[in-house]
Amino acid sequence: MKLPQKIADFLWVTVRIWKYNWLSDAKNVKGKPILYHPLLLKGKGKISFGNHVTIGVKASPLYYSHYAFLEARTKDSEIEIGDHVAISNGFSVEAYSKITIKNNVLIGVNCSVTDNDGHHLEPEKRNETNLIALPVLIEENVFIGDNVSILKGVTIGRNSVIGKGTVVTKDIPENAVAAGIPAKVIRFL
């Protein structure tokens, strides 16, 4: 790598990784991911990383401009990421209950996982903070394409593939390829 590229990587990546580490306020964090991209950890809950979790891909969109965001909002919230999980750039997770990502999962660019609606749907309740949260489970060996949104209460079965741009609102069985808005199984492996 040439010197100008090393300087650019230091200024645009390494310094930003330090910055987001400094801005992180999550106290209950177990494990340490391998960072190629900035990561912001927030919330009062538990966040755990297994062995060889990588966050960020240099030869991928959003590398210099975005960061990964994981928030275990309440003291009872939990985010659990298994072993050998590879997460691309611009990933976000918001847990009020529990979000589990098992071993050997691949996650594409600009994906999000949430276990709640963010706000109540009824106009008179939108500012209330007692949200309905349902756990999310992503089983082993799942491949999630770019720009995928995974919503509350979903389980994605082992070995499944979620196509680019999909919004997952319901469970996906094992060994399935799902795509669309909302996600539909289009074939089995």
Q: How far apart are CA 143 and CA 121, in angstroms?
A: 31
Of 71, 73, 112, the residue nearest 90 (C-alpha): 112
In the chain, alpha helices (H): 3-9, 15-23
Known catalytic membership, residue 119: yes
Please tell me whether the peptide bond between 173 and the residue prior to it is cis, using omega within 30 degrees of 0: no
DSSP 115-134: SB-SS-SSGGGTT-----B-
CA distances from 46 to 43, 68, 73, 104, 159 (A): 8, 17, 9, 21, 26
Distances (CA, A) of 48 to 71, 100, 125, 139: 12, 10, 32, 16
Annotated active-site residue in 37, 52, 119, 120: 119
Any idea how long the chain is? 189
**What are the E-state strand segments in 16-77?**
28-30, 34-35, 39-43, 46-49, 54-55, 68-72
Q: Enumerate the active-site residues.
A: 119
